[in-house]
Amino acid sequence: MTNRASLNLQLLVLLTLLTLPGILFAETSEQKALDAIQSQYEKVLTFEADFTQQSYVKMMNQTQSVKGKVQIKKPGKMRWVYGAPDTQILISNEKTLWLYVPDEEQATKVPVESIYSSNTPALFLAGKGKLTQAFNVESVIEEDPNIIVTLVPKDEEQGLARLVLVADKKNYQITGSTVYDKLGNKTEIRFNQIRVNREIPEEQFQLKTPPNVEILDYTQTP
């Protein structure tokens, strides 16, 4: 996949917290704030928002900016629509991951497990695992109007170096995140027009393409 597609996959970590039941944090002086954020997570069954994403690719020394829309439904169903200049649609429906690039008239279909089997944070996409099984809480900082939580992976072999979550102090809803990897890349995303617990039709997590689109299907066993 391209650098852009790879970063998009990495971004799926950002909202997986919204699909996890019973996240447990270690005892700290900031436990009250963490408990409030956890309580908000547990109430969220669906999540919809507009987003702005900035991805810094160290190898190219470039920052790519894009806006789009996201929909999430427990457990692990996601739809990310990335707008111009490089329109893409990324869909996960627990078993299958689709990446559709309209301008290239091509869609790639892969098993979710083949992408995430070696990446513990991404297992959250399929509703597996718990946050503290993969991360340590490094810090919790309150900076009006936000609460900023910094997480580091327990597994040093992971490509992910650090995950920073931003939550609103008023309602403890996540409003953004930043992912840092060990190659020096950084992906920052901020959400607005957030809507939670509204019904999302199942068809939103099924890819529909025009007849002329080439399908690269990697879900079939050779």
Has residue 52 been placed in a domain? yes
User: pLDDT at position 21, please?
Assistant: 42
Q: What is the b/e burial string over 124-148, where b = at least 16 CB atoms within 10 angstroms of the residue's CB? A: bbbebbebeebbebeebeeeeebbe
Residue 49: its H or E element: strand 46-57
User: pLDDT at position 118, please?
Assistant: 45
Has residue 209 been placed in a domain? no
Distances from the Cα of 23 to the Cα of 65, 147, 156, 208, angstroms: 31, 17, 21, 34
Has residue 176 been placed in a domain? yes
Has residue 219 been placed in a domain? no
Which residue stretches of 29-179 are H helix? 31-43, 112-116, 131-134
Q: Which domain holds residue 90?
A: 3-198
Has residue 19 been placed in a domain? yes
Rounded to whole angstroms, how far apart are CA atoms 119 and 65? Answer: 25
Has residue 206 been placed in a domain? no
The CATH number of the domain where 12 resides is what? Answer: 2.50.20.10
Walk along the chain (222 residues) and give the pLDDT tens digit of each residue: 455 554 454 555 544 444 444 444 445 546 677 777 767 777 888 889 999 999 898 899 999 899 999 998 887 788 999 997 789 999 988 788 899 999 999 999 998 776 654 444 444 443 444 555 667 888 889 888 999 988 888 877 667 888 888 899 999 888 888 889 889 999 898 999 999 999 999 999 999 899 999 999 998 765
Has residue 213 been placed in a domain? no
Strands 96-101 and 106-111 turn out to be: antiparallel
Say if CB 109 and CB 218 are below 8 A apart.
yes
Strands 214-217 and 106-111 turn out to be: parallel
User: pLDDT at position 123, please?
Assistant: 46
User: pLDDT at position 24, please?
Assistant: 45
Rounded to whole angstroms, how far apart are CA atoms 103 and 124? Answer: 30
User: pLDDT at position 15, please?
Assistant: 45
Say if CB 5 and CB 60 are below 8 A apart.
no
Rounded to whole angstroms, how far apart are CA atoms 43 and 18? Answer: 9
- The dihedral over CA atoms of 144, 146, 147, 152, expressed in degrees to the nearest 10, equals -120
Distances from the Cα of 156 to the Cα of 85, 131, 138, angstroms: 35, 16, 15
Has residue 39 been placed in a domain? yes
Structural domain count, the chain: 1
